[in-house]
Every structure is written in structure tokens, then in C-alpha cells.
């Protein structure tokens, strides 16, 4: 069944109910679309020692092995998902995708991780490696610096056996099963 309008401004309550019902199904499949999108990172080395997917998987594995909670591990896994569509702002893309599902601290960490990672290489590009210092007053500064140091930066180990995305698929489905905050949360209730 489809709504019957040419201009959304002319929609009826019945039209919107049809759309809302379809939207619930569409939204529930988000974790599967995210997992499919992650596959686009496979084989994309971008000059790195491992492809972008293995980097994300190694980051998540390190976080899981260190005992981080499921939400944090999913953030570690998806932190570079934006590389494909937001090559100039990949951290913003990852943060936007996960905003409805994660804590403020994890969202802030995702949104700023690229600037914090810059500490390790910006000086080689003629940029200020201390760019992250502008955020020193943030309550999430140390959390983000720790994410980079413990999980993101060391996750380029080409000697590690390849990991499978399926290892983390259940966590993605769990964390993204229901939004904590969203404009559209009401249609799920």
C-alpha cells in the first residue's frame, strides 16, 4: 500500500499512517544496512598497512578485549564508516549515524576522533598536531585521547589474521535495535 499524494503538503492522516508503518520496517533494518555498508571498506587500503574494514575490526576487537561495553565497542567498530561518503568529514558522518543510539560521551568521542588522531600525523602534513588541545576543557577529552591511544592508533597490525565483521554483527544489531533519542522515536512506540 502506498500513500496517495503528489505533494507532501497535501498528505492526509491516512497517508502519513501508511508511511509511518513502512518507516518502522525500514528503520528496523538499519543495522543490516550499516553492516552492508561496512563491507565497502574491505579492500580499501588508502595506503594503510591494512584495509579500512580490518582497521575498524581491529579497533573494535581491542576495545572488546579491554572490557569496554557493547555501545563503546560498536562505536569503535563504526568509527570510520564515514570514510566512504564523508571523505572530508568522516568523523561527523559516524557520529551522525550513531547519535540516536549512543551516550553523549560516545557521540562526542566519535565526532572528534579525527582531530585527536591528528596528534599522530598532522605535523607530517604541516598541520598543528596539537589541534585537539582546543577541546582540553571538554569532559570527554581524556576519553577520546584514550580511544585513539589504546584502540584506534594501534589497529593497523598487518600481521594479525583477518577478522570477520560477523563477529560484531550481533552487537551492532543490539546497540542499534532501538534509539535512545530521535525525533522519530514516537512512531516506534
Look at residue 1 and tell me if it is in a domain. Answer: no
- CB under 8 Å to 52, separation ≥6 — which residues? 41, 42, 44, 45, 46, 80, 83
Q: What is the DSSP string of the chain?
A: -----SSGGG--HHHHHHHHHHHHHHHHTHHHHHHHHHGGGTT--TTSSS-HHHHHHHHHHHHHHTT--HHHHHHHHHTTGGGTT-TTSHHHHHHHHHGGGS-HHHHHHHHHHHHHHGGGTGGGGTS-TTGGGGGTTSTTHHHHHHHIIIIITT---TTSPPP-GGGTHHHHHHHTSS-SS-TTGGGG-
Question: Domain limits at 49?
Answer: 13-188
* Residue pair 143/105 in contact by the 8 Å Cβ criterion: yes
Tens of pLDDT, residue by residue, the chain (189 residues): 899 999 999 999 999 999 988 998 999 999 999 999 999 999 999 999 999 999 999 999 999 999 999 999 999 999 999 999 999 999 999 999 999 999 999 999 999 999 999 999 999 999 999 999 999 999 999 999 999 999 999 999 999 999 999 999 999 999 999 999 988 877 767
CATH at 128:
1.10.3210.10
Q: pTM for the full model? A: 0.94
What's the structural domain count of the chain? 1
Look at residue 4 and tell me if it is in a domain. Answer: no
Look at residue 3 and tell me if it is in a domain. Answer: no
Look at residue 91 and tell me if it is in a domain. Answer: yes
Look at residue 2 and tell me if it is in a domain. Answer: no
Look at residue 149 and tell me if it is in a domain. Answer: yes
Q: Which residues of 162-175 are buried (b: 16+ CB within 10 A; e: fewer)?
A: ebebeebbebbeeb
Amino acid at each position: 500500500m502506498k500513500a496517495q499524494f503528489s505533494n507532501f503538503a497535501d498528505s492526509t492522516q491516512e497517508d502519513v499512517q501508511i508511511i509511518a508503518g513502512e518507516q518502522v520496517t525500514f528503520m528496523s533494518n538499519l543495522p543490516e544496512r550499516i553492516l552492508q555498508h561496512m563491507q565497502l571498506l574491505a579492500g580499501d587500503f588508502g595506503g594503510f598497512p591494512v584495509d579500512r574494514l580490518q582497521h575498524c575490526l581491529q579497533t573494535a576487537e581491542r576495545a572488546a578485549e579491554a572490557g569496554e561495553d557493547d555501545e563503546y565497542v560498536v562505536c569503535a567498530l563504526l568509527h570510520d564508516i564515514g570514510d566512504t561518503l564523508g571523505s572530508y568529514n568522516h568523523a561527523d558522518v559516524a557520529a551522525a549515524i550513531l547519535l540516536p543510539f549512543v551516550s553523549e560521551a560516545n557521540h562526542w568521542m566519535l565526532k572528534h576522533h579525527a582531530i585527536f588522531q591528528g596528534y599522530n600525523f598532522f605535523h607530517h602534513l604541516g598541520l598543528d598536531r596539537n589541534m585537539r588541545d582546543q577541546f582540553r576543557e571538554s569532559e570527554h577529552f581524556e576519553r577520546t585521547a584514550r580511544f585513539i591511544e589504546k584502540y584506534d592508533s594501534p589497529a593497523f597490525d598487518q600481521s594479525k589474521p583477518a577478522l570477520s565483521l560477523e563477529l560484531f554483527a550481533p552487537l551492532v544489531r543490539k546497540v542499534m535495535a532501538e534509539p535512545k533519542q530521535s525525533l522519530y522515536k514516537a512512531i516506534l512506540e
